[in-house]
Structure 1
C-alpha cells in the first residue's frame, strides 16, 4: 500500500472503522456487487477514475463517488459536461480535509433521511422496510447505548442522577389530553424520540410550520432518573 493511500485510509477510519482498499478493478466490482443492504461511499484515485466510473456508477449499492487525485482539472469534465450522466459524483479533491468534510456531510444527510424512514417504518409497522434498515437500527441503538453510558457517568461525577431534556412539537388537543391523562403512568412510543438538552433548540422546533390543522405548540420537558434505568 502506498504511503498516501495508507494515510487516506487512516483518516477515513476516523469517520468509519471499516475502509476496504481495492487495487484491482474486478476485485472491487465483485466486492461491491456482493453487498446487499449497505451503502458504499466510493473513493476513486485519479488513475482509476476513467476506467472505473462508467462501470460502477449505476450500481445500486453505490451511494456516492469521490475522486481523489493530484490534478483535479483533468477530471472536471465529469462534473461539468457529463454531470447529468455522473450524478453520483460528489466532487474531485486534491486534499484530505475537503474530502473528509464532503463525506461527513453526506453521512449526516443519509442519517437524517434514514431516521425519518425508520420512524415511518416503526409507526406503520412496515417490517420489510425495517428488515432492510436493520443494520442501521442496530448501529443506532448501540451508539445511543454508548452515549447514555457516557452521560450517566458524567452525571455521577456531577453528583446528579437526573437528566433534563426538551422536545418541541405540534400536538392536537386529543394528543395533549392523552399525555395529561397518563401523567404518572408509562407511555410507549413506536419510534425514536428526538430531544435536546437545550430548551431554546426545542423552542425552535416547536415554532416550525406545519400543514396539520388544529394543533398547538408544545414543549415537553422530560426528566430522566439515570439510577432507575438499566439500558
Structure 2
C-alpha cells in the first residue's frame, strides 16, 4: 500500500533532545565498536578516553557501564574494560527474540490502541517520512525509537512493553548502525507503513506479521552493513 501524502497531517518535526555527555560518549564508542574501529579485546582505558573526548572520567565510566549492559563491553574486576561483541549466533538470537516481542506488541496495539494513540503513531510516521527525504539518519534513528516505543505503549501491556524496551536497549547499537546502509531509510519507512496501516485497520495478525518481517529486514541490513565495514 503506498504511503499517504505528507500533507494529510499538519505536523512539525520535534526538536531532538540535547544529549548528555554520557549519552554522546556511549553512542560514539558504540559506533566505533559496531563498525569494527574498536576490535574485540581492545582495552578501554577511562583516562585515555577522557583525554580523547575532553571530558572527566565520570561520564566515561558511566558510558562504559551502559555499554556493558548492551553486551558491547566486558568489565573485568580489577582488570578494566575491554571491547566484547556478541557472536553472530548470539546476535541472531537477540534479533529473533526482538522480532517476536515487537510482533506481539504490534498485534496488541492493533487491538488496543486508543484513537489519540493511533493519531500519535501516524504523526510520528509522517515525521519519519520527512526525515527520509532529508536523508538524516541520526534524526531518523531518534524518531524511530519514539515510533517503536509508541507501539509498545499502545499494546496496553505494561510488562510486555518493559520487556521489549529492555531487549531493544541490548540490540539498539546494531539497529542504529543499519541506517548507514544505502537506501535503508526509505526501506524502513515503507516497512513501517505496512505496520501502521495494519494497526489503523485493527488487523492484529497483519500488524504482527508486518513487524516480524520488519525486524528480520533490520537484522539483514545490519549484516550487510557489518560485512561492508
- Looking at secondary structure, tell me which structure has more helix per residue: 2
Range class of TM-score, shorter chain: under 0.3
Q: Which has the higher contact order (CA 8 A, sep 6+)?
A: 2
| TM-score normalised according to structure 2 size | 0.25
Give the number of the structure whose alpha-carbon radius of gyration is greater: 1
- Looking at secondary structure, tell me which structure has more strand per residue: 1
| TM-score normalised according to structure 1 size | 0.25
